[in-house]
Each structure stands twice: as C-alpha cells, then as structure tokens.
Chains A and B, each alone.
Chain A
C-alpha cells in the first residue's frame, strides 16, 4: 500500500481509504468489522465516516471496532446533514458543529478526529463562522485537520482564501463524487483544488455500483444503491443507464479481460492515475456487501486516498 500526503499537509494516508456509509444500514456490524479487518490487513489506514451515516450507527460501529487500534488510524468524519428535526440539528453553524463534534467523539470513542469535513456547503451560515469554529476545534485538540465535501469550485476557493486571510487551518481535502461515469468535477472543482492545495477524496468511485459490472442495458436493477436511488439522484438508473455509460462499461470490461482483473479493479485503477485523487469506495453500494468486496478489490484495499494535487 502506498502512503500519500493529504493535500498540502504532513498527513500521510494510504492511497485507498475505507468508506463506511453503509455500515449499520445495508452492512450489519459483524460484516462491517470483517470488511474493516480486511482493509487494515491490506495496509489501509484511512477510514471515512459521517455523523449522518445510519444516523450515527456507522460511527458507533467504528468506535467499537477501532478500540486498541486508534493511534495507527487516520479517522475522518463529517458534519452538516440533519441528525434531527430541530433548528440546530443540521448545518455548518457554530452551534451545530460544536454539538455534532462532541457527539461524534462519543460515538467514535476517541479524543480526537483526524479529518473533520463539512459534508456540504451551508448557504445559510457565513463561511467565516464555519471555518472559525473549525479553527477553534483544531486549537482545542478535538480535530487535527479540516476538509470539505460537495462544494463547488468557487466555494472551495472562497474557503481557502478566507482561511489564508484569517489564519485559520486551510482545508486539505475535498470529498467529491468522481468516477469514470461522473467526471463533471473536472470543470471547476479539480482546478480549484489544484490551486488551493486540496486532495480529492473520490466518493462513488464505481458510480454507485454501476461500474461493478453487474448491470446490463435495458434491465434496471431490482436491488442495490442504483435501484434505491430517487430519480433526481446522480446514481438513478435513468441517469446512469445511458449509451455513453454502457460504452464506458464495455471498454472497462475489455481492459479487465486484458489485465486479468475485475471491472471495479480497472475502474479504480483509472482513478489512481488521476493526479491528486483518492478513491473512496469500500462502501460504494453493492461493494460493501461481503459477497462482492473480495471480487472488487481482489483482496487488496478499496477506496482510494489521493496524493496531493499540487505539482
């Protein structure tokens, strides 16, 4: 396993990270622990979760499973999406972040979070408030590094600029949807990350399961993430099952045969060739299922952590 610096920082992480979105949801705890063990055995050390994953259950599973292993792990989680119906149960305000980080630390059974990410841009909170709060959390020792997720290019650039202006810790990563079937971040987000010194953490590196290779044209799946996706979601069948995407899939299939690898392995390997991109995919839809993970990763680690985007 290669270890690469995360963004413009001294934090080295395994180039493939472990996503845990389905832990406590499609993936029961016993299976989640088995996946985690395989990932650690393969040399991975970068584990990503979020407070909203299974409404805290993913964090709780990790908290139990990582006892005695914490010092050698880079643990990432996120805040933003709703954890309740109250006015302060979501968003990136000082009030919600301070409550959320406290709750995450309890569930994760740890004193600190290595990478704390804002899960989505909050249009109702001044960006200065969000990043001042994150700076405070770094000072207090609750978090080590700051990241963002699902930001546009200008939002990333604004965040980096205000951090430079006020002396706040700059974000070192942007977690974005990125795969062979979803490359739109190349227009604005990747240039912004390159300029700001952020690594890309690629979520959905297999297109929500589309690049697992189990889908064929004209046969919508009956189960899995694509089947469950609402029509306006990116991974919805209506959006994924395009002629172009099946052409991509066919190309990947031919390369998989050529290299003697699986379709997901080729799709992830392409991501590994992208400068500054770290795939993040153990929990990419059906791949989190223990029946398919071994095929996807061939016994090696799954979600990828990216080298720094800086030249």
Chain B
C-alpha cells in the first residue's frame, strides 16, 4: 500500500460516511466539555 489518500480526500470520505449524530452523546460531549472548561478556568 505505497500510497495514501490526500488530506482533503480523507476529509471528504469522513464527512460523507460520518455516523449519525446521537443526541445523548452530543449532550454528554457538550456537558463534559463545559465542565472541563470551567475546571480549567478555576485552576
């Protein structure tokens, strides 16, 4: 496999094949990110 897809083509394939967004995961990522950012500000 001596060749590799270019970055923009990898991004294209990533986008077209992305699994559907599942709301609870989106919420968890948002909530954990929020907590993480708040903790960072405190420290």
Known contacts A251-B12, A252-B13, A269 near B1 by CB under 8 Å = yes
Q: B7 — nearest CB in chain A belongs to which residue?
A: A273
| Interface size counted on chain B using CB atoms at 8 A | 15
- Cβ–Cβ < 8 Å partners of A266 in chain B: 5
Mask of A60-89 contacts with B, CB within 8 angstroms, 1/0: 000000000000000000000000000000
Contact digits for B2-40, partner A, Cβ 8 Å, 1 yes 0 no: 111100011011001111001001000000000000000
Contact B13 A255 (CB under 8 A): yes
At the interface, yes or no: A180 with Cβ under 8 Å from chain B?
Answer: yes
A15 close to B9 (CB less than 8 A): no
In the assembled complex, A272 has its CB within 8 A of some CB on chain B: yes
Q: Are A269 and B3 closer than 8 Å at their CB atoms?
A: yes
Interface residues of A in 235-294 (CB under 8 A from B): 247-248, 251-252, 255, 258-259, 261, 266, 268-270, 272-273
Instruction: Output the least CB separation between A59 and chain B (Å).
Output: 27
CB distance from B28 to the nearest CB of A (A): 11
Q: Is the interface of A mostly helix, strand, loop or mixed?
A: helix
A35 to B17, CA, bound (A): 30
Whether A270 lies near B1 (C-beta < 8 A) is no
A247 closest partner in B (C-beta) = B16
- The residues of B that contact A183 with a CB separation of less than 8 Å are 17-19
Across the interface, do B18 and A272 meet the contact criterion of CB distance under 8 Å? Answer: no
**In the complex, which residues of chain A have a beta carbon less than 8 angstroms from the beta carbon of B3?**
259, 261, 269
Checking A247, A268, A270 against B10 with a beta-carbon cut-off of 8 angstroms, the contacting residue is A270
- The minimal Cβ–Cβ distance linking A192 to chain B, given in whole angstroms, is 14
A248–B16 CB distance below 8 A: yes
CA distance A273 to B4 in the complex (A): 8
| B17 touches which of A1, A180, A259, A272 (Cβ 8 Å) | A180
Contacts A187-B19, A248-B17; A16 near B1 (Cβ below 8 A): yes
Give Cα A269–Cα B10 distance, bound, in whole angstroms: 9
B29 CB to nearest A CB, Å:
11
Cα–Cα, bound, A304→B1 (Å):
10
B13 touches A251 (CB 8 A): yes
For A247, list chain B residues within 8 Å (CB). 16
- Bound complex: CA A266 to CA B9 (Å): 10
The verdict on A181 contacting chain B, using a C-beta distance below 8 Å, is yes
Chain A residues positioned under 8 Å from B9 (CB to CB)? 255, 258
Residues of A contacting B4 with CB < 8 Å? 269, 272-273
Q: In the complex, which of the residues B4, B5, B18, B22 has the most CB atoms of chain A within 10 Å of its own CB atom?
A: B5
Complex alpha-carbon distance, A264 and B31, angstroms: 39
Contacts of B18 in A (CB 8 A): 183
- What are 20 A-B pairs with beta-carbon distances under 8 A? A2-B1, A15-B1, A16-B1, A181-B17, A187-B19, A251-B12, A255-B5, A255-B12, A258-B9, A259-B3, A259-B5, A261-B3, A268-B1, A269-B3, A269-B5, A270-B5, A270-B13, A272-B4, A273-B10, A304-B1
Q: Which 8 A-B pairs have the closest CB atoms?
A: A180-B17, A183-B19, A251-B16, A248-B17, A270-B13, A273-B10, A269-B5, A248-B16
Known A247-B16, A255-B5, A269-B1; 7 more pairs at CB < 8 Å: A180-B17, A187-B19, A187-B25, A255-B9, A266-B5, A300-B1, A301-B1
